[in-house]
Amino acid sequence: MKRQAWLLLILFVLLSVACFFEARRFVSLETLTKNELLVWVELDRKRLTVYENGTAAAVFPIAVGSADTPSPIGVFRVVSRFVPEMSGFGTRFLGLNVPWGAYGIHGTNHPDSIGSNASHGCIRLKVKDAEALYQMIPNGTPVVLEGGPYGPMNWGIRTLREGDRGADVMQLQKRLMQRGFLFYGADGVFGSATRRAVIDARRAFSLPSGDTADALLQEKLGLVPFE
């Protein structure tokens, strides 16, 4: 009995620490310090805005991920950059530290795609805009990607299964951790540990057996979209 109490206490402390650091990742215009830059990407409006000192310094039209390969949602940072030859990446690429995949902000050799849901998840700009952005923001610049009416759930609930990636997968993992079905791995990647946790959760909630997180399971976990 004492051992169970200690395990619950340790789990509570770990979750509290995780929530603390997650909260510290939040970025808003009000928290910008003097001379700090912020990139704000509105996926639904297909617009990227660069803020300096809380004021819009530049606005660019963009293309974003398709329904099958959505752009990540969350708060990230620019962590890498390179200057490629003219290609699908245009002539500039800024890499983001998205934990569940390789995503970036870059140019394109298909300028007609700007303003649409056309990429594999990256943020596309016109070549001249990508070159201008590349000069404006250094590595370490925070990047906020928001889109859809449901925050991390993007445009609603989708059935999640092994191999899926995204902000909604990370939200699922966090809820599974809160309920004690998953003890680590809130990285936005639906792997084998998440699959086992989903199986256990479905059994605990008396749902039909399976290894996918459908709308029924997500509702039981409290993942209900709201505007």
The residues annotated with a catalytic role in the active site are 106, 122
Among 119, 126, 164, which Cα is nearest to 145's? 119
Burial of 179 (0-12, 13-18, 19+ CB in 10 A): middle
Which residue from 159, 18, 186 is spatially nearest to 100, judged by alpha carbons? 186
For CA atoms 138, 99, 83, 143, the dihedral sign is negative
Distance CA 71, CA 13 (A): 32
Q: Rounded to whole angstroms, what are the CA distances from 6 to 11, 12, 172, 177, 185?
A: 9, 10, 25, 17, 21
